[in-house]
Structure 1
Amino acid sequence: MIRTDALDALPVRTALPALERALDEHGTAVLCAPPGTGKTTLVPLALAERGARVVVAEPRRIAARAAARRMAWLLGEQAGGRVGYTVRGERAVSRETVVEVVTTGVLLQRLQRDQELPGADVVILDECHERHLDADTVAAFLLDVRETLRPELRLVAASATTDAAGWARLLGGAPVVEAEGVAHPVEVVWAPPARPVRPPHGMRVDPAQLAHVASVVRRALAERTGDVLCFLPGAGEIARVAGLLADAEAEVLQVHGRAPAAVQDAVLAGSGGGRRQVVLATSVAESSLTVPGVRVVVDSGLAREPRTDHARGIGSLTTVRASQAAARQRAGRAGREAPGAVYRCWSEAEDGRLPRFPAPEIRIADLTAFALQAACWGDPDASGLALLDPPPGGAMAAARSVLSAIGAVDGSGRATERGVRMSRIGLHPRLARALVDGGPEVGVRRAAEVVALLSEEPPREYGDDLAAAWRTARRGGDAYGARWRAEAKRLGSAAGAEATPRASQLSDDTVAGYVAALAFPERVARGRGEGAYLMASGTGAELGEGSRLRSAPWLAVAVADRPAHAASARVRLAAVVDEETARTAASHLLRSGEEVHWEEGDVVARQVERLGAVELAVRPLKEPGPGLVRHALLEGLRREGLGLLSWSRDASGLRQRLAFVHRVLGAPWPDVSDGALLERAGEWLEPELSRARRRTDLARIDAGQALQRLLPWASGEAVRLDELAPERIEVPSGSRIRVDYGGEQPVLAVKLQEVFGLQETPRLAGVPVLVHLLSPAGRPAAVTADLASFWREGYRAVRAELRGRYPKHPWPEDPTKAEPTRRTNRGVERDVRR
């Protein structure tokens, strides 16, 4: 039976008319609804009731399943009827399904298969404030579909805490619909540590901070009724705090992305009035989920974000301070059903310094999968996609380099047939490559099993040996093993290739090493003693003490992280390989011949055979060709910048003057930005560049003299530089004052008495000079780009303020008729020397 009483009690109901009107009139809307209002459950059902087929996109599998089950419960059904869900490896839908909840990853795959998205009339992007990369990509693709294929497709961006104005602009001026929140107050209790704790560093959290969080949980249990939901950054911290609460008067449950389904179900069922529960959770519990019985939230104030070293191909998670938006989301969990409280493990003073929103993944994450999705969509550089934040150029370049190396894109960046196949497997492109290329060599089933291990890192207790971890997973007996088997089966079906006859004869170590090397060729690593390795990417790597891998001459590093400021990466998971396997998997990194390039800050010339950064054979090259040296020097300039040259004050001043006239007048005046100068370096740095051989030679090049070559001498305009942008301007006192061209307007900083009688503001190239009027002590007294107005309206106040402080200097009532001077009233001359 339909639970109309529960549906009617959801506050978002009052916002439905406005939302429906917005969709009818505009086709898009932004829905801002505080936690507990029912935006995730009531809105899709209400839109479906009007005859729409609704797809709800959630950022996480646990949220997608929970939302579908909650909606089905409200309809008196089981999931799979009118309300269904699809997540990776699990699907519960039927012909009767009119509301389908999916993860953003699933929706992304669906759009790539059929851009028209048949079977959907409305798409709701839930929890859009989290700014996951898949969600941002889905939003961009859907807007493209609306514009080009299906203008009738309606879109809703929904969240409790989001940049509503930004999403409204992105959705083409969409109306913002706001729902009233639940009238359950949440008391904020500030509970900072009594003694300072060390800030998070990489993945490390100070144990004292975790002990403090555990003590706050105990305090909350003693002071409040109801269950407690405690937010922590990751599974490791959850396990540590759970251990500290082992003797607490409550059942302690651990919820994170790897938690068994039974634990997730127990959390969503609540304590039911029995023994109190303490739910230790990562950010998976921030959004979309109502944990019944929770009246108290304990917030550690920490979160995890991805970080990627694009140059070395190493990604990792890092612990950061949670944003204000995340803190509001977390606090809202305490007031979903009744008045509650949130204990924040930081001070009220610190709260104002937290970032407003979490960092969008597109700014900080590995963009290889995004770049492949964009290429398959037909927009390789993503320039035509409607995104709240554009992808960083460096990250996109690194992503395209990876895709090109694995054959997923062609020379123009377009997706190849191979790339399209990889994108549809539902894996990171690196892992898809390992499955596609590894299957025929080592057997589809075995390749799929290893890739499944790499797609969800096994528990730390499995150890750092990939082959041994594989054997542990095969034995099963834990929640990870069950998920691993299901994923391996899915991947085996997706690969569909035949193995070579020798595949069955290969050992587990050989298979694991080969597949890992295919996935991460930049991470094949050669030993250099004492458990230390050098990866082909150029990054050092170290194994932990006691690892059985320490004696291996070569490794394929599957999982590594590089702590902030650490010289080497820590190997978390790796497999033994031999040099032949390393050469095969990373064949695109093999180089042999003369190498003249910029390395460690200077030109290096050698005869080298190398696998990426791993040198296999090396000897010095005594007479490198001048052209190769010149190329290496240009490479050094591009890497380290124009600071390698000699920039005197006059040279920097000339560059600023040229930048000003270019900005104001354009051609033929040259663009002297870093990018433009580096692009034309081979032109304006000749002949000095041809004579240079190393870094010290670059440091001797007078950049100012070289810049003169870029002036428009051929047209005769070059002689007008001193007229359009003079180095100095003569003021009424006779002083010649240097002009600062470093800002948007030229700036003339001059003592006020020296410009008495100057009626109009000087103009350079038609631009009024910004005059900084200085006190007799040389301190700013006023700023104006309109002297005539200043004399009329501003001078009187400045005069009143300064005449008492500087009585020896003239302060006439009418400065427009006064004699300009560099002297005091007593005739003591104080020249302005600039």
Structure 2
Amino acid sequence: MTRTAAALAQLPVSSALPNLRAALEEHGTAVLCAPPGTGKTTLVPLALAGLLDEGAPRRVLVAEPRRIAARAAARRMAWLLDESVGDSVGFTVRGERNVGRGTRVEVVTTGVLLQRLQRDQELSGVDLVVLDECHERHLDADTVAAFLLDVRETLRPDLQLIAASATTDAEGWARLLGDPADTDALAPVVEAQGTAHPVETVWAPPPRPVRPPHGMRVDPALLTHVAGTVRRALAEREGDVLCFLPGVGEIARVAGQLGELGGVDVLQVHGRAPAAVQDAVLAPGERRRVVLATSVAESSLTVPGVRTVVDSGLAREPRTDHARGLSALTTVRASQAAGRQRAGRAGREAPGAVYRCWDQAEDGRLTRFPAPEIKVADLTAFALQAACWGDPDASGLALLDPPPAGAMAAARRSLTAIGALDAQGQVSERGLRMARLGLHPRLGRALLDGARELGARTAAEVVALLSEEPPREYGNDLAAALRTARRGGDAYGARWRTETRRLSSALERSDTRQPAHRPAPAKEPASPAKGSSGKGPSAEDRAPALITALAFPERVARSKGAGSYLMASGTAAELPDGSPLFGSEWIAVAVADRPVGSAHARVRLAAVLDEDAARAAAAPLHSSGAEVGWADGDVVARRVERLGAIELRVRPLGDPDPALVREALLQGLAEEGTVLLKWSQKAGELRRRLAFVHRRLGAPWPGMDEAALLARADEWLEPELSKARRRADLARIDAGQALNRLLPWATGDAARLDELAPERLTVPSGSSVRIDYTDPGQPVLAVKVQEMFGLAATPEIAGVPVLVHLLSPAGRPAAVTADLASFWRTGYQAVRTELRGRYPKHPWPEDPAGAEPTRFTNARLRRER
């Protein structure tokens, strides 16, 4: 029996092939759901290409999300056919191609397929495309699917398309691949029932709570626990152990904690690992192995010998911090779908187990699927691809999730700034060249413009360095990292040289004679700012700084002193202690992140820059003009030259626009409040009276709280506000006089203010006593007890009983009541008993309700009588 025949007999996907062929024959599209290990990645393409029987030969493209998966799938299929890669089965990934004249199944990465579609929309000679592992929702994969559906609808209705995955939103993909003319006509869903071996789940949470991931940071306590769980799995289980970790740094840390394991090899596999290491992982080992891997090991390949999976429960996803102008990977909790994929690795060849490093109760709270990249990632590259396709706003593309409008608008602004889109939003010739380079548009811009200034080879070297962040041991000085890469000797250096050659070749194929967006020629470094060291780049180090600034103009940064910088984006950033970049007036930041609990970004990779290069690279961010605002407690009028948020030159502005001054004063009021105005006692009393009436009656009486007054400041403070020029002028505005403008004069209600909220109230003694409206809910009348004798009913204002503060002859509080009649009956006698001995010269009648009110002592009363 041949290898292929044996595989067909063993792999469950073979039973689904008849239904899959029928679905493609009738509809041209299908969704293939097949559990891990069923053969969907390897046997399905061979069968549909006619390589397993005497069927008609067809050309099949298989799109994989990762290079390691593409190479592995091609090698596995070639092995099944007992052929070499490049015969019937080949592969193409960035920087590597192994395809022959007779190749009928070609495995490519989604990025490669995207570039191919832009060059040849018809995909000439291709009969079928398989989008493998579509559940991962990478942006390139979603874009490829949209473009292929467009091709099917407009150019190639005969082109067949399969969306394949082990754990996917089958209904969503069926709707997407269905008939565009009939939204109810879904694409057929073909399921292959797996016969994967049982996988036991072992819940292995840390013994103590660990901090959740933040940015790129993972709690070291969790990594220590993962290493301990790997040791436990080795002791409790047989076979190899596959451990999933979020990134390269975590893999290295756990590998260090595992140390030397007797008789066990520790291998590290990730996207940056050399091809030889990746190939070794996919081949049977002579000794027992622990494979520490990122999510690259989730899909499309079998690691032979694995019987146990240890899952940290973490993954890395792209995020864009628009507020800080930073785009980076961030650590998140892996989805339930990712957890199933990872666990499935343990049951590929025999019964196995998965140790999950979290509590079982947490599992149900995990998201079902990974966040689609189109929802969270930087969309600049996607927007350029859509524009090159002829749909600049992507409104006509069939996508599972539409791109967020805000992120799409930001992407289009960036593309316009670098000349990839014209003023009408259409792709320019320059944008087309950027798209063909196979780079993010920012790096494409840096490569094209940097080549004019520095030469193609140098520009390619630096862009290759920016394409894949160098190892931490290379340091945070980009120029020094470039020198280290040039010396070579490590795996990163080998990948860097390969990418440099690819970019150099791409530049040769690109028309670089167009002069668009060429940076200004270099000048002598600008004079250092006062108080700075003025450290600038050497001639050798100038290239990394200029290329970085061209790629990330908003990350051009100027020193604020003590290792602190302000980027043109407005983000504050700090150098790590001991950085060789300390003392540099200008730097170009290539990589930055935000540490836990920090309000500032942290510079992880940068190069020394000079001001002229900064101005040239970030020219679209340059501005100059009058700025009038409220700063440091007063109006500040300046003429400022800026590079984004960075102030280049500042001088006083002698005659600012009065309208701008007025806006600055309003800003000051908004920040500091009406306390900036002149508040006399009378003005304060008026404000409190009006607040009381507003609370009682509402409109048309105005509110007097700070928010209400500030909302109408431009109304009640005119014309004084227009005449003011500084803080001192605000302090001269009579707030009481200004408040009168808010009274409801138009309705005639203003004339009733003294009736509704009188300043004073005449009491029985004949005194006119001031009312206190401090509490807008109830006015207060503070009056001596003797002056209220004979008054049974409590006075009211606007229907509200006055709160009477009854005072002793010395003006000290004696009692408080809102019910005088009750006080005379029950409370007065206690007050009389306490105070008449202390104030014997004042009247203290036994019956206050029938007594004569008075302001005077007993002697004065007798004389007046």
TM-score by length of 1: 0.74
* Structure 2 SS opposite 1:284: helix
The equivalent position to 1:527 in structure 2, one of 559, 565, 568, is 559
Structure 1 Cα separation of the partners of residues 342 and 481 of structure 2: 35
Is 1:555 equivalent to 2:587 in the alignment? yes
Partner of 1:65: 71
Partner of 2:48: 47
**Unpaired segments ≥5 residues, structure 2:** 179-185, 523-536, 669-690, 695-711, 731-741, 743-865
Q: Is the 8 A contact 1:186 1:331 kept in 2?
A: yes
Partner of 1:56: 62
Q: 1:270 to 1:589 in 2, by over 3 A?
A: same
1:335-374 equivalence runs, <5 A: 335-374=347-386
Is 1:480 equivalent to 2:486 in the alignment? no
Amino acid in structure 1 at the alignment position of 2:240: D
1:797-816 equivalence runs, <5 A: none
1:113-512 equivalence runs, <5 A: 113-172=119-178, 173-249=186-262, 250-271=264-285, 274-496=286-508, 497=512, 507-512=539-544
Q: 1:179 to 1:510 in 2, by over 3 A?
A: same
Structure 2 Cα separation of the partners of residues 475 and 226 of structure 1: 40
The C-alpha deviation readout for 1:806-834, integer Å capped at 9, x for no partner, is xxxxxxxxxxxxxxxxxxxxxxxxxxxxx
Structure 2 Cα separation of the partners of residues 491 and 634 of structure 1: 54
Partner of 1:94: 100
1:765-776 equivalence runs, <5 A: none
Q: Is the 8 A contact 1:191 1:216 kept in 2?
A: yes
Could you tell me how far 1:595 is from its partner in structure 2? Answer: 3.5
The equivalent position to 2:547 in structure 1, one of 487, 495, 515, is 515
* Structure 1 SS opposite 2:502: helix
Could you tell me how far 1:495 is from its partner in structure 2? Answer: 1.3
* Structure 1 SS opposite 2:61: strand
Structure 2 Cα separation of the partners of residues 601 and 27 of structure 1: 70
Partner of 1:543: 575
The equivalent position to 2:613 in structure 1, one of 581, 586, 591, is 581
Structure 1 Cα separation of the partners of residues 390 and 493 of structure 2: 38
Partner of 2:599: 567
Q: Is the 8 A contact 2:28 2:158 kept in 1?
A: yes
Structure 2 Cα separation of the partners of residues 690 and 21 of structure 1: 80
Structure 2 Cα separation of the partners of residues 46 and 209 of structure 1: 45
* Structure 1 SS opposite 2:541: helix
The C-alpha deviation readout for 1:737-769, integer Å capped at 9, x for no partner, is xxxxxxxxxxxxxxxxxxxxxxxxxxxxxxxxx
* Structure 2 SS opposite 1:13: helix
Amino acid in structure 2 at the alignment position of 1:543: L
Amino acid in structure 1 at the alignment position of 2:61: V
Q: 1:99 to 1:630 in 2, by over 3 A?
A: farther
Could you tell me how far 1:590 is from its partner in structure 2? Answer: 1.1
Structure 2 Cα separation of the partners of residues 48 and 600 of structure 1: 73
Could you tell me how far 1:589 is from its partner in structure 2? Answer: 1.0
Partner of 1:6: 7
* Structure 1 SS opposite 2:49: helix
Amino acid in structure 2 at the alignment position of 1:30: V
Q: 1:631 to 1:113 in 2, by over 3 A?
A: farther
Q: 1:490 to 1:629 in 2, by over 3 A?
A: farther
The C-alpha deviation readout for 1:317-354, integer Å capped at 9, x for no partner, is 21111100000000000001111100001111111011
Structure 2 Cα separation of the partners of residues 402 and 20 of structure 1: 45
Could you tell me how far 1:258 is from its partner in structure 2? Answer: 0.7
Could you tell me how far 1:196 is from its partner in structure 2? Answer: 1.2
1:725-740 equivalence runs, <5 A: none
* Structure 1 SS opposite 2:291: strand
Structure 1 Cα separation of the partners of residues 107 and 123 of structure 2: 14
Q: Is the 8 A contact 2:557 2:568 kept in 1?
A: yes
Amino acid in structure 2 at the alignment position of 1:100: E
Q: Which has the larger radius of gyration?
A: 2
Structure 1 Cα separation of the partners of residues 618 and 147 of structure 2: 34
Structure 2 Cα separation of the partners of residues 633 and 41 of structure 1: 71
Could you tell me how far 1:619 is from its partner in structure 2? Answer: 4.1
Structure 2 Cα separation of the partners of residues 599 and 6 of structure 1: 75
1:820-831 equivalence runs, <5 A: none
Amino acid in structure 1 at the alignment position of 2:582: R
Structure 2 Cα separation of the partners of residues 17 and 627 of structure 1: 77
Q: 1:301 to 1:622 in 2, by over 3 A?
A: farther
Q: Is the 8 A contact 2:37 2:196 kept in 1?
A: no
Q: 1:260 to 1:598 in 2, by over 3 A?
A: farther
Amino acid in structure 2 at the alignment position of 1:428: H
Structure 1 Cα separation of the partners of residues 371 and 716 of structure 2: 45
Q: 1:688 to 1:167 in 2, by over 3 A?
A: farther
Q: Is the 8 A contact 2:586 2:609 kept in 1?
A: yes
Partner of 1:700: none
Could you tell me how far 1:593 is from its partner in structure 2? Answer: 1.3
Could you tell me how far 1:411 is from its partner in structure 2? Answer: 1.4
Could you tell me how far 1:508 is from its partner in structure 2? Answer: 2.4
* Structure 2 SS opposite 1:576: strand
Could you tell me how far 1:516 is from its partner in structure 2? Answer: 1.0
Structure 2 Cα separation of the partners of residues 600 and 457 of structure 1: 41
Structure 2 Cα separation of the partners of residues 604 and 140 of structure 1: 53
Q: 1:171 to 1:571 in 2, by over 3 A?
A: same
Structure 1 Cα separation of the partners of residues 199 and 325 of structure 2: 44
Structure 2 Cα separation of the partners of residues 101 and 222 of structure 1: 39
Structure 2 Cα separation of the partners of residues 506 and 206 of structure 1: 40
Q: Is the 8 A contact 1:7 1:74 kept in 2?
A: no
Q: 1:441 to 1:219 in 2, by over 3 A?
A: same
Structure 1 Cα separation of the partners of residues 194 and 541 of structure 2: 56
The C-alpha deviation readout for 1:267-308, integer Å capped at 9, x for no partner, is 00022xx31000000000001010001000000001111111
Partner of 1:788: none
Q: Is the 8 A contact 2:307 2:353 kept in 1?
A: yes
Partner of 1:710: none
1:679-828 equivalence runs, <5 A: none
Structure 2 Cα separation of the partners of residues 204 and 627 of structure 1: 48
Residue range with higher mean Cα deviation, 327-336 or 46-55 = 46-55
Q: Is the 8 A contact 1:630 1:690 kept in 2?
A: no
Work out the percentage of aligned pairs sharing the same amino acid: 75
TM-score by length of 2: 0.71
Could you tell me how far 1:68 is from its partner in structure 2? Answer: 0.5
Q: Is the 8 A contact 2:325 2:571 kept in 1?
A: no
Structure 1 Cα separation of the partners of residues 94 and 628 of structure 2: 48
Q: Is the 8 A contact 2:41 2:300 kept in 1?
A: yes
